[in-house]
C-alpha cells in the first residue's frame, strides 16, 4: 500500500512510476486528493494523517529534529495509535527526533522483536503473512553474502530500486532473516 500526496494519477517523483505500478498490481495506492492534483508541498504532511490512521502503530527509526516522521508520530498519538521510536547516538542529527519522541512518551524499541512483542505478534506470524516466495528470499539472502552490506549496494546487485527494496528488507528483518547494523549496514542472520 502507498499513501500519496498527489492525485492517484500523478506519481511523484516520476522516478517512482515503476514502483507505483508494482504497488498498484500487488496492493493499492491511496489518495485523498482529486485526480490531477499536483505534488503540492503542504499535501505531504497532510497525507501523513491517512498513513497514521491506517496503521496499527507507527515506528520511527531515524528522524531529525524537524522531520515529517515526527508529524506522522504526533498524528498517530492523537489517533490513539501506539508510537515506537529507536534511540541512536546523542551526537547523531538523525536521532534527535527519536529521542524527543521517547522523551514525550513513545515506546523505546531496539529490535524488530521488540516491536513484534509490543504488537503481540510472533516472528512466525510475520514470516507466514509475508507475500514473498522462497525464491525471492533466497535471491536477497544470496546477494547479501556473509558480510555486512549497505542497502544501496544490495539494491544494485538485485537491480531493484532502493526505495522499493526498503519495505521488503523490513519484512525480512521482522521475519528474523536479517538485522540492521549502525551506519546503514545490514547482515544476513540465517538461511
Q: Where are the domains of the chain?
A: 1-40, 55-110, 126-188
Say what the pLDDT of residue 47 is. 93
Query: Could you identify the residue written with the cell 521510536?
Result: 85
Regarding predicted confidence, which is higher, 133 or 85? 85
pLDDT digits (tens, 9 = 90+) for 86-141: 999 999 999 999 999 999 999 999 887 888 888 886 555 545 445 556 677 888 88
Exposure on the CB side of residue 126, measured as CA atoms within 13 A: 20
Threshold 0.85, pTM exceeds: no
Say what the pLDDT of residue 12 is. 94
Q: Tell me what the pLDDT averaged over the chain comes to.
A: 86
Q: What one-character-per-residue DSSP string does 22-58 give? A: HHHHHS-EE-SBPTT----TTHHHHHHHHHHHH-SEE
| Cβ–Cβ under 8 Å, residues 4 and 47 | yes
The CA dihedral of 152, 157, 159, 160, to the nearest 10 degrees, is -40
Residue of 94, 46, 95 whose CA lies nearest to 71: 46
Q: What mean pLDDT comes out for the span 166-190?
A: 80
Say what the pLDDT of residue 98 is. 95
Say what the pLDDT of residue 40 is. 96
Query: Above pLDDT 90, what percent of the chain?
Result: 48
Q: What mean pLDDT comes out for the span 48-71?
A: 92
Say what the pLDDT of residue 191 is. 56
126-188: CATH topology is Arc Repressor Mutant, subunit A (1.10.10)
For residue 106, the 8-state DSSP code is: P
Query: Above pLDDT 70, what percent of the chain?
Result: 91
Provide Rg for the chain, Cα atoms: 17
Say what the pLDDT of residue 32 is. 94
Strand partners, 188: 178
* pLDDT tier for residue 27 given thresholds of 50, 70 and 90: confident
Say what the pLDDT of residue 116 is. 80
Say what the pLDDT of residue 152 is. 85
Amino acid at each position: 500500500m502507498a499513501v500519496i500526496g498527489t492525485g492517484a494519477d500523478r506519481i511523484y517523483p516520476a522516478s517512482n512510476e515503476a514502483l507505483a505500478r508494482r504497488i498498484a498490481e500487488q496492493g493499492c495506492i491511496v489518495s485523498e486528493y482529486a485526480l490531477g492534483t499536483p505534488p503540492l508541498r503542504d499535501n505531504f504532511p497532510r497525507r501523513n494523517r491517512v498513513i497514521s490512521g491506517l496503521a496499527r502503530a507507527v515506528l520511527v527509526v531515524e528522524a531529525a529534529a524537524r522531520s515529517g516522521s515526527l508529524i506522522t508520530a504526533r498524528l498517530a498519538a492523537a489517533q490513539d495509535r501506539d508510537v515506537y521510536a529507536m534511540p541512536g547516538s546523542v551526537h547523531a542529527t538523525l536521532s534527535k527526533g527519536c529521542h524527543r519522541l521517547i522523551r514525550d512518551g513513545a515506546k523505546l524499541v531496539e529490535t524488530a522483536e521488540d516491536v513484534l512483542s509490543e504488537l503481540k505478534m510472533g516472528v512466525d506470524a510475520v514470516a507466514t503473512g509475508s507475500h514473498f516466495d522462497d525464491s525471492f528470499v533466497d535471491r536477497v539472502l544470496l546477494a547479501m553474502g556473509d558480510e555486512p552490506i549497505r542497502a544501496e549496494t544490495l539494491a544494485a546487485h538485485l537491480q531493484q530500486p532502493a526505495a522499493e527494496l526498503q519495505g521488503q528488507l523490513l519484512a525480512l528483518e521482522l521475519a528474523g532473516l536479517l538485522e540492521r547494523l549502525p551506519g546503514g549496514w545490514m547482515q544476513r542472520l540465517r538461511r
